[in-house]
Structure 1
Amino acid sequence: MATSPSAKLKSPLVLLLIAALMAGAVSWVAYYYLQQREAAMKEEIVARDKASEVVRVEVAVPVADVPIGTVLNQTNFVARPVEADLVYPDTVLAADFPGLEGLRLARPLLRGRPLRLSDLVAPEVNDVASILPAGKRALTIEIDNINSISQTLRPNHRIDLFLLSKGVKREGAPEQEDGTLEQASLYMQDMLVLATGTEFHDISKGEAAAATKMVRPGQVEGKDKSYDTVTLLVTPKEAARLMIGQKMGSYRVALRGSADRAPVALATLRAGDLLPSNGSRGNRGIEFIVGGKDQIVSELAVPPSQQQQLIRAFQGARPPPVPGAAPVAQADTVPAGMPLPTQRAGNPRSEPF
């Protein structure tokens, strides 16, 4: 008996073969799509890299971990290319390394880490005259621990100088006004510190020399070096002005921020502007005097709104008038500014309110 075509299609073997063919076709289509997509992404990445054109620079790095005090040379340091946007401003480039050979490390450096100027010990200045620019002078002034900002003032800092002196005494002024003649004035500003003690800063090297003075984390560079003088970089005219100021009084140093170069307009401040006037004592309040020696024990400043009530209280405590004696006029009001009565010995002892 012959088998019908529909019966052949229902055979498990035929169904399995058809399913395998369909799965293979789907797999080939998916593989082909993924290959095309991967190729497109690679082309996109290559095109983007070419458009950005990442710039690389060569920096100096140690070939192995190096300890403090290691001398720089081309044996223990090599060049390494890194992306330019990852380089610090004070990173030592491979092209600049030969000029730094012979210097020593101020701290350990790990293998492959870029060398920075802040990692180096600053060279000492042996000839001060060789670092002075044309037309400039180096002038030294005396300071103390307060003026040195607790010994943290360093070369290349900028400071303002305040002059503490005595003003001119007015003709016929009383001796009590001598204390009000003290004055403070902004004498000179934006002065460059060339040296603290014997530690000088080579200004001819610009920012590179300043970078070697950077404070490291947890450390104040040179804090163990004490000093009592500061050398400033000045013009001859500024030097003469500083000498005259030393004869007039004493200096106080105010440290400026590293980026603060703006001039300051400040009027002279006198002690008389801060102290209260030495006028009459009658307007200061109520005086309490004990012992009959006119010695003031304390004073009580009374607001104007309460002065009238206190005046009436003192007047009400007076003894009654003697019969036949002329009556004593009692004012109900007291002119503004009149001194209040004083409690003296002989009256009952007064206690503070």
Structure 2
Amino acid sequence: MNIARIVVLIIALGAGGVAAYLARGTEENTKPAAEPVAQLPTVEILVAKSDVGLGQLLKPEDLQWQTWPASAAGANLINRAGRADGIKEIAGSIARSPFFAGEPIREQKLVKATGSGFMAAILPTGSRALSTEISPESGAGGFILPNDRVDVILSKREKNPDGKGSDVIQSEIILSNIRVLAIDQAPKEKEGSNSLVGRTATLELKPEQAETLARARQSGTLSLALRSITDANAPEGRPEEQVQRRSESVNVVRYGVANPTTAQK
């Protein structure tokens, strides 16, 4: 009797498993097929194959074509469909700004400099490059690098008006938020170094600023004050509050002791 019950139970379980398998297969067959993923249209644009530094002369091996979403390929990018010889056309240009590997090449950041030097090539239209001597003490301890922004400070020693004690030292900012083009002959940071201790700084100036700096070099000592990177878009030139120099505070050194005072008109 018990054997018969066991056989019946086994048959029932087997039938149930078969029924479940058949039901699952029917359900899978009734599922709708997955829709194919839409392929975005792409184009090939010209990019930097490796990092390109400021002032670097581009060679064909520095460039390559790369697949790019057509919707993101703006008119300022070099499209292979429209310029199949793009690599040959761009080779020989000088980078006015750095490029990272894989970054699209934009002609606005390049310049053709046939017969011209590097500095003339990267100098913006209407600007002038003027050099001035610096030292570690007057150049922020060597931490000023190309493309940094600085204020130019003029310090002059004058006779004490009352005729007593040591001379009066007067300092003023003559140029503000000026871009550094190069330190000595290095237009970019040296590899493995976070500072350049040079003796000459080349500054990017407007013509009237170049005249101001040239006069200042003959009348006193120049120092460069490093500005924050967030000041890149601040107004350039000479701050309005610095125009009236005589109303500024100066540092009077008497017998080796510094005392703040105000210059007299």
TM-score in terms of structure 2 length: 0.57
Q: Does 1:162 align with 2:153?
A: yes
Among 245, 248, 251, which residue is 2:222 paired with? Answer: 251
CA distance in 1, matches of 2:138, 2:260: 31
Change (3 A) 1:115 1:100: farther
- The answer for unaligned runs of 5 or more in structure 1 is 1-6, 63-70, 85-91, 104-112, 118-122, 201-212, 279-353
Q: Could you say if the C-alpha distance between residues 268 and 100 of structure 1 is closer, same or farther in structure 2, counting changes exceeding 3 Å?
A: farther
Query: Within 5 Å, which residues of 2 pair with 1:23-172?
Result: 23-33=17-27, 39=32, 42-43=34-35, 50=38, 73=60, 79-81=65-67, 97-98=87-88, 101=91, 115=102, 126=117, 128-129=119-120, 131-166=122-157, 169-170=160-161
Superposed displacement of residue 188, structure 1: 0.8
Which AA in structure 1 matches 2:171?
A
Cα distance change on mapping 1:238 and 1:258 into 2, 3 Å: same
1:182-331 correspondence to structure 2 within 5 Å: 182-200=169-187, 213=188, 219-220=192-193, 223=196, 227-260=198-231, 261-263=233-235, 265=241, 268-272=248-252, 275=258
CA pair 94-256 structure 1, distance change in 2 beyond 3 A: farther
- TM-superposition CA deviations, 1:114-158 (whole Å, max 9, x none): 5569xxxxx997264455444332222111233344444333322
Q: Is the 8 A contact 2:251 2:260 kept in 1?
A: no
Q: Are the counterparts in 2 of residues 141 and 230 from structure 1 also a CA contact under 8 Å?
A: yes
| Matches of 1:35 and 1:268, distance apart in 2 | 88
Give the number of equivalent residue pairs.
213
Q: Any conservation in 2 of the 1:59–1:114 contact (CA below 8 Å)? A: no
Let me know the Cα RMSD of the aligned residues.
4.7
* Structure 2: stretches of 5+ with no match in the other structure: 50-57, 71-76, 81-85, 94-99, 105-111
8 Å contact kept, 2:150–2:227: yes
Indicate the SS of the match to 1:271: strand
Matched-pair contact (CA < 8 Å) for 2:130–2:203: yes
Amino acid at match of 1:246: R
The verdict on how the C-alpha distance between 1:151 and 1:32 changes in structure 2, with shifts beyond 3 A counting, is farther
Identity score, percent: 19
Alpha-carbon spacing, 1:32–1:151, altered in 2? closer, same or farther (3 Å):
farther
Contact kept in structure 2, 1:164 and 1:250, CA below 8 Å: yes
Q: Could you give the per-residue CA deviations for residues 155-198 of structure 1, whole angstroms, max 9, x where no partner exists? A: 3322111111135743xx2412x34x212212211112233223
User: For 1:99 and 1:156, how far apart are their aligned partners in 2?
Assistant: 28
| Preserved contact between residue 163 and residue 184 of structure 1 (Cα < 8 Å) | yes
TM-score scaled to structure 1, two decimals? 0.45
Larger Rg: 1
> Which 4+ residue blocks in structure 1 deviate beyond 6 angstroms?
54-57
> Once the two structures are superposed, what CA deviation does each residue of 1:275-333 show, in whole Å capped at 9, x if it has no partner?
4599xxxxxxxxxxxxxxxxxxxxxxxxxxxxxxxxxxxxxxxxxxxxxxxxxxxxxxx
